[in-house]
Amino acid sequence: MRVKILTFRYSNTLGGFDDGPLVEFTRDKEVLSFREHFFLVNDVPHISCVLTYEQPAVTGREDLPVRKSEAPLELSEGERLLYNTLREWRMTAARAEGVPPYVLFTNRQLAAIAGKRPDSLTALAGLPGIGAAKVRRYGQAVLELLHGKGAPEPASQEAQP
């Protein structure tokens, strides 16, 4: 496990914080935890992000994903396919929301979902690290992916209660 701290200064031009370096840094890593700390320096907002992460190992096999984190070795072949489907959905939904993919679900959470294949929102909420907010926001789309139905558009998920 490794730790990285990134600090961003508020940009008046952007009207917010430029999270590009954060997105780029996490692109090829498995984020284990994420904490943010807001503070002011001379009345200018800053935010520090503390990440714990693992650097995935390269497998070298052409028939498997390039990075170990893309399909954990403990998953069966069918679970790996489901895991990769969940990752593709997560990437699309994250882009639509303008957030890094790990904000929706971490790689470990996706692996747990693919391995357990919960059949209800309650079962999904019972998996480690998946709380009520994630279930409320993304649960229905995940269940539809798991059980063979097409997932709704990410924007329509926000309208759900």
Q: Which is higher by pLDDT, 55 or 86?
A: 86
Per-residue pLDDT, 57? 57
Residue 30 has pLDDT above 90, yes or no: no
29 versus 40: the higher-pLDDT residue is: 40
150, pLDDT greater than 50: no
User: What confidence score (pLDDT) does residue 24 get?
Assistant: 83
> What is 14-56 written as a DSSP string?
TTB---HHHHHHHTTSEEEEEEEEEEEETTEEEEEEEEEEEPP
Q: What is the pLDDT of residue 63?
A: 41
Query: Residue 154: what pLDDT?
Result: 42
pTM: 0.52
Average pLDDT, the chain: 81
**Residue pLDDT, tens place only, 71-83:** 566 788 888 888 8
pLDDT at 97: 87
Tell me how far apart the alpha carbons of residues 62 and 126 are, in angstroms, rounded to a whole number. 35
7, amino acid identity = T
Q: CB within 8 A of 93, min separation 6: which ones?
A: 104, 138, 141, 154, 157
Query: What value does the mean pLDDT take over residues 82-107?
Result: 89
- Give the model's pLDDT for residue 72: 62
In the chain, which residue ranges form alpha helices assigned H by DSSP? 20-26, 77-97, 107-116, 121-125, 132-146, 154-158
The yes-or-no verdict on residue 18 having pLDDT over 50 is yes
Give 78 or 152, the one with higher predicted confidence. Answer: 78
Least reliable range by pLDDT among 5-14, 40-49, 57-66: 57-66
